[in-house]
Amino acid sequence: MIKHIIAAVVTLLAAWAMFLVYQSDKEVNKLEEIQKMIKKTQVKVNLGNTESVTQESAATEKASSESVEKEQAKKKQELDEKLQALKNKAGNVAAFKVSPLYKQKCASCHGVNGEGIIGPKLIGDSSEKIHQALLEFKSGKRKNYVMYGLLSKMDEGQLKELSDEIGTFEQKLQEMQK
C-alpha cells in the first residue's frame, strides 16, 4: 500500500517537475521572445533614426537647392530688369541725334548714344581711340567676331566717319544736359 502511495507521490512529483520544466521552458521562450522583440524594436528605432537623419539631410538639401533656385530666380529677375532698363534706354530715347549710319550699324549693341548695351560704352572715348579699335577689329589684330564681321563690310571712309562722330558723343551729351 505504502509503495503505491510513494509511487503516486513520485509520479505526482515527476509530473510537477515536468510541469515546472515546461513552465520554465515557456518562461525561457518568453524571455527569448521578449529579447527578440527588443532587438526588433531596436532595429526599428535605429532604422527610424537613420531614416530621420536621411530625411533631415534631404530636407536641408532640398532647402539649399530651393535657396539656390530662389537666388537664381532673383539674379534672373535682376538681369531682366537691367535688360529692360537698357532696352528702354536703347528704345530711341536718344539725348542727341546720331547719324543714320551709326544708328543702323552700331546703336543696337552700343546704344543710341554710345552708352553701351551688349557692346561696351563708347561715349567718352576719343575719335582716335575708336578709330584705332575699329582698324584693329577689321584687320583681325583685335579678335572679335561680331565687330570683325560688321566692319568687314564697311570701308575705311565709313570707319573714319563713325570714329569722328562717336568721338563727339560726350560733348553732345554735355551740351544737351546744359
* Contacts to ligand HEC by CB under 6 A: 105-106, 108-110, 118-120, 122, 130, 133-134, 144, 146-147, 150, 162
48/140 with CB nearer ligand HEC: 140
Closest approach of ligand HEC to the CB of residue 168, in Å: 13
Cα–Cα dist 111/90, whole Å: 5
Contact 169, 155 (CB under 8 A): no
What phi and psi, each to the nearest 5 degrees, are found at residue 116? Answer: 90, 130
6/116 with CB nearer ligand HEC: 116
Closest approach of ligand HEC to the CB of residue 77, in Å: 24
Closest approach of ligand HEC to the CB of residue 176, in Å: 21
Closest approach of ligand HEC to the CB of residue 108, in Å: 5
143-148 long-range Cβ contacts below 8 angstroms, 24+ apart: 146/109, 146/119, 147/119
4/141 with CB nearer ligand HEC: 141
13/133 with CB nearer ligand HEC: 133
> What are the CA-CA distances from residue 41 to residues 27, 28, 46 (Å)?
20, 20, 8
Contact 175, 96 (CB under 8 A): yes
